[in-house]
Amino acid sequence: MRPGPIRLTRFFHEALRFELAYLEREILAAELPTEVEHVQERMHTFTRVLLWHAIGEDEEFFPALEEKVPNVTLPYCFDHEYESSRFHTLDVLADQCVAEGHPHDLIELKREISIVRHYIVAHMEKEEIHLWPLTEENFSESEQQELIQGMMGVVPRSGIITVVPWVLTRVSDDSVIECLRSLYTLFEDYFSLDLKQIIKSLVDEERWTQMIEAIPDLTE
Ligand SMILES: [Fe+2]
């Protein structure tokens, strides 16, 4: 079975893994509760991205897969619910650390971030080895593209401006241009002038040059 468009999801998974590793590293390194202040904003963004991941799959991907291959997605829905509520709790705990500075909150935060990271990483691995091949076997390439478009469609327009640069600045150097090409091919309409400028402001000159070589329309 040839890899299909469903594997474009790997860029999101790669970005989620990168961010979880960063958050865990920074939180574990903190010696005082208030030292997690610099990760607060990234925790909030991660919570939103994780929720969109869950809603996109629960509402667009899983119902379509269930129609063709019944009874496979329920454990994944359960994971989504668990991960989203647990990460939300973690996010609140980080806010508490900064606001109140209790050492026991930091101990709890350190314990939780490692648990949640392992849980989310295992969840994505299961999707990759179990659900993607099932999808490739049962959906044509154009149907898979529609699934991806449906999943991305759950992100509100205001969130697109967050999520696209978020992914592009977290995938590896080897993936970034392919990721941009895929996003642009499927979601050209999303690339407003604002979004293009945000991307430009977040990458260095060399990366921007590579990006506009790949997608000349970015400069328009
Ligand atoms: Fe998932």
CATH number at residue 8: 1.20.120.520
Out of 128, 155, 182, pick the residue that ends a domain.
155
Instruction: State percent of the chain over pLDDT 70.
Output: 100
Ligand 1: centre distance to CA 101 (Å): 33
Least reliable range by pLDDT among 57-66, 96-105, 155-164:
155-164
- How many distinct structural domains can be found in the chain? 2
pLDDT of residue 4: 85
Residue count of the chain, please give it. Answer: 220
Ligand 1: centre distance to CA 189 (Å): 25
Using an 8 Å Cβ cutoff, are 3 and 133 in contact?
no
Ligand 1: centre distance to CA 219 (Å): 34
Pick the closest to residue 80 from 109, 105, 110, 60 (CA basis). 60
pLDDT of residue 198: 95
Ligand 1: centre distance to CA 201 (Å): 30
Using an 8 Å Cβ cutoff, are 39 and 94 in contact?
yes
143 and 105, same structural domain? Answer: yes
- Would you say the pTM of this structure is higher than 0.85? yes
196 and 105, same structural domain? Answer: no
Ligand 1: centre distance to CA 206 (Å): 33
Ligand 1: centre distance to CA 51 (Å): 10
Could you please report the per-residue DSSP string of 3-52? --GGGGHHHHHHHHHHHHHHHHHHHHH-SSGGGGGGGHHHHHHHHHHHHH
Out of 155, 170, 193, pick the residue that ends a domain.
155
Ligand 1: centre distance to CA 17 (Å): 13
Pick the closest to residue 39 from 53, 54, 55, 27 (CA basis). 27
151 and 169, same structural domain? Answer: no
183 and 149, same structural domain? Answer: no
Mind listing the pLDDT tens digit for each residue in 16-41?
999 999 999 999 999 999 999 999 99
What Å distances lie between residue 218 and 179, 183, 192, 202, CA to CA?
14, 12, 9, 14
Measured at the CA of 17, the angle between CA 14 and CA 19, to 5 degrees, comes to: 110
Range of the domain at 96: 1-155
pLDDT of residue 211: 96
137 and 87, same structural domain? Answer: yes
Ligand 1: centre distance to CA 119 (Å): 11
66 and 25, same structural domain? Answer: yes
174 and 112, same structural domain? Answer: no
193 and 98, same structural domain? Answer: no
What residues pack around ion ligand 1 (CB closer than 5 A)?
Answer: 57
Mind listing the pLDDT tens digit for each residue in 95-130?
999 999 999 999 999 999 999 999 999 999 999 999
